[in-house]
Structures are given as C-alpha cells and as structure tokens.
A and B are shown apart, each in its own frame.
Chain A
C-alpha cells in the first residue's frame, strides 16, 4: 500500500515514549496545578493577552513563562502523531483501512463529545474540556487503531 504521509517505522518507539510520558505528566500536572513555576524561562511570544481579539495583549514580546505545560502539550501531540502516522512493520491495505476508519471515528467521536459538553458543561469547566479536546482526537484515534490491530491479531488456530 503506497502512502505518502507515513513516516518510517523506526519513529514509532520514540512516538510511544513521548506520547505515554506526555499523558502521564499531563495528568500529574492537571491534578497538581496548572500553572506550576517549574522550568520558568524567557520565551518569544508573538501574541499574549486575555483574548485573541482583545486590545490588552502585546505583540512580539519576550515574556517569562513556565514552559512545563507547553512541553507536555508538544510531547502528547508530536508523540501521538508519530504513533499514528508511522508505518507498521507490514503496511498493507487492511492496515490502511483500519487507520482511515479510526481517523473518521476519532473525528466523529470528538465532535459528539464536544456537542454534549457544549450543551451540558458550563463556566470554566468548559474550558477544561476544550483543553482535553486538544488531545482527544489523537487519543481516540491511536487507541482505536491499535485496539483493532491487536484484536485482529488473535484467534489463530
């Protein structure tokens, strides 16, 4: 099966490490405190402010920020992309179909969850959900794809 968007299989291990590490650290950070002071450093901010369209923000500034949450976010996203979009050991049409189906379901699942939370979750909890929503499509995709792959491996007689 020829695909032009898949990376070589060797990146998959790195993906799994980043992904799991990111999720574990993310959960720990969420439970403890969002804005920890760990790894506070100077960063280049193209824009920072309360809202994107507000007038209170500043453009192109060097600001101080704890980059722990940024690192965790990047670890989960890059790790998840690597896990989901690297070649399998044997890449064929069935695997390709599993991956595609999982992607479609991940998107549908994500927006169903978002619809439900829009209707039923209010106040700042809603923004919490939006933060989780940055990762749920990837999470669901990776989970479903690997679950189906694992399931279709069993029952050899």
Chain B
C-alpha cells in the first residue's frame, strides 16, 4: 500500500510533527507510514483523511498486485 501523506502535507505546509500532533499520534508513526513501513489502522487512516478534508482513497491506495 502506498500513500500520498507527504504530498498532502506539503500542500498544507505541515511538518510531520504538526500532523502527528493534530491526529494525536507520535511523529515516528507518521514517519513510518510515509515510508510505507507501517500500515495504519482504519481509525488512523480515517482521522488523517478527515484532517486533510478528503477521502481515504485519495490518501491511501493499493499497489499493483495487492
């Protein structure tokens, strides 16, 4: 699974720390999610989408043969 969190952040001029604070997780989590090292729970994905005011599908998407 890939995600566009980094792009979404850049568009809103947010740092990883800002985003982490807004949705109440550690900065490590955001970092790990952006690097595709960690797949967030549905709750967290929904929270991120809500904050960015967009759909989950616009932030997280499946890759090739998943």
- Chain A residues in contact with chain B, CB under 8 A? 88-95, 97, 149, 152-153, 155-156
- Chain B residues in contact with chain A, CB under 8 A? 15-17, 20, 24-29, 31-33, 35, 37-38, 40-41, 44
Q: A89: nearest residue on chain B (CB-CB)?
A: B26
The answer to whether A94 and B32 have CB atoms under 8 Å apart is yes
Q: B44: nearest residue on chain A (CB-CB)?
A: A93
Chain A nearest CB, measured from B29 CB (Å)? 4
The answer to whether B16 and A94 have CB atoms under 8 Å apart is no
Known pairs A152-B37, A156-B15, A156-B16; A95 contacts B29 (CB<8 A): yes
Chain A nearest CB, measured from B58 CB (Å)? 22
Known pairs A152-B31, A155-B31, A156-B31; A93 contacts B41 (CB<8 A): yes
26 contacts between A and B (CB under 8 A): A89-B26, A90-B24, A90-B25, A90-B26, A92-B25, A92-B26, A92-B29, A92-B44, A93-B40, A93-B41, A94-B32, A94-B40, A95-B26, A95-B29, A97-B38, A149-B28, A152-B31, A153-B27, A153-B28, A153-B31, A155-B31, A156-B15, A156-B16, A156-B17, A156-B27, A156-B31
